[in-house]
Amino acid sequence: MTMEHAEAIDTGAAERYALGEMNETERDQYEEHFFDCPDCADEVKAATLFLENAEAVVREDDPPAEKDPSERRVSVPVSRWGDWKALFWPMPLGAAAALALFLGGPAVYLASVKVPELERARAEAESLQAAPWVFLSVSRSEPPVIRVASTQRMVGLTLSKSETRSLPFYLCEVRDAGGRVVLSNVVAAPPRGGELQILLPTGTLQPGAHAVAVAGLETVSSRPTASDFTLYPFVFERQ
């Protein structure tokens, strides 16, 4: 059963999906909905980018040798959807501010919040971006090298067609040289006859050999086997 649009809006589904707060059944219902709903798809993309930028703010806060007075226990109260549990954990206040605004509810802070970092993260997430575009194939030849500047947060990938049968969804995984999955998502199939195109976030990607592993799915909740995946190797470098 697919989630209705009104239910998705009323329950804050995009935010809960990005934060991993849905159970498996609700997640599958929402995924089936937002693949056919451009508005909800945009909400999920915006929520994901916002969280990534909030995490980047945390990474920029290098803790000093002595205890940083700005790092204190922060309480984020229950949001407007009511049934969430309050969250309690130690984190820099810049990230706490980002999360509080993301959840859409007020928060009580024990010290001043880092508003400039929050505003910069939000501006970056909503700004136009220059992104290189790379064609990947299953060829056994030398894998292409993807080079990005420090300011480039996304890389576009076009994946060559590897099968004639078209499926409605595709599980895309980015794996490192050791086979560890570092990024994963289910995406909708391209237009009939087209090649699959995805945007690759570069913020957490480490330099070195990688591969995009793709498996076709009949439904968003299908579980492919190892033999169902096609590998598109590449080497990632930062300039």
Domain spans in the chain, listed from the N-terminal domain onward: 5-126, 133-238
pLDDT digits (tens, 9 = 90+) for 163-180: 767 889 999 999 999 999
- CA–CA distance from 190 to each of 1, 30, 80, 167, 184 (Å)? 23, 20, 36, 9, 18
**Average pLDDT of 213-229?**
93
pLDDT value at residue 60: 54
Among the residue ranges 34-38, 52-56, 109-113, 208-212, the one predicted with the least confidence is 109-113
pLDDT at 185 over 80: yes
DSSP state of 127: S
In this predicted structure, the answer to whether residue 99 has a pLDDT above a threshold of 50 is no
At residue 158, does pLDDT exceed 80? yes
Q: Note the pLDDT tens digit of each residue in 59-98.
A: 555 555 555 544 444 343 333 333 333 333 344 444 444 4
What type of residue is 198?
I
CATH top-level class of 133-238: mainly beta
Statement: residue 102 has pLDDT above 50: no
Q: How far apart are CA 222 and CA 215, in angstroms?
A: 10
pLDDT at 61 (0 to 100): 52
Please report which residue ranges of the chain form alpha helices under DSSP H.
5-10, 13-18, 24-34, 38-60, 93-103, 115-126
| Mean pLDDT over the full length of the chain | 75
What is the distance between the alpha carbons of residues 140 and 142, in angstroms, rounded to a whole number?
7
- CB atoms < 10 A from the CB of 227, how many? 6
Q: How far apart are the first and last CA of the chain?
A: 46
Contact predicate 157/214, CB 8 Å: no
User: With 80 as the cut, is the pLDDT of residue 189 above it?
Assistant: yes
Instruction: Give me the residue label for tokens 């492919």.
Output: 224
Q: How large is the C-alpha radius of gyration of the chain?
A: 20
β-strand pairing of 154-159 with 196-201: antiparallel
More confident residue, 90 or 11: 11
SS3 163: coil
The pTM for the full model equals 0.52
The percentage of the chain sitting over the pLDDT mark of 90, rounded to a whole number, equals 31
**Cβ count within 10 A of residue 79:** 20
Is the separation of the CB atoms in 207 and 152 below 8 Å? no
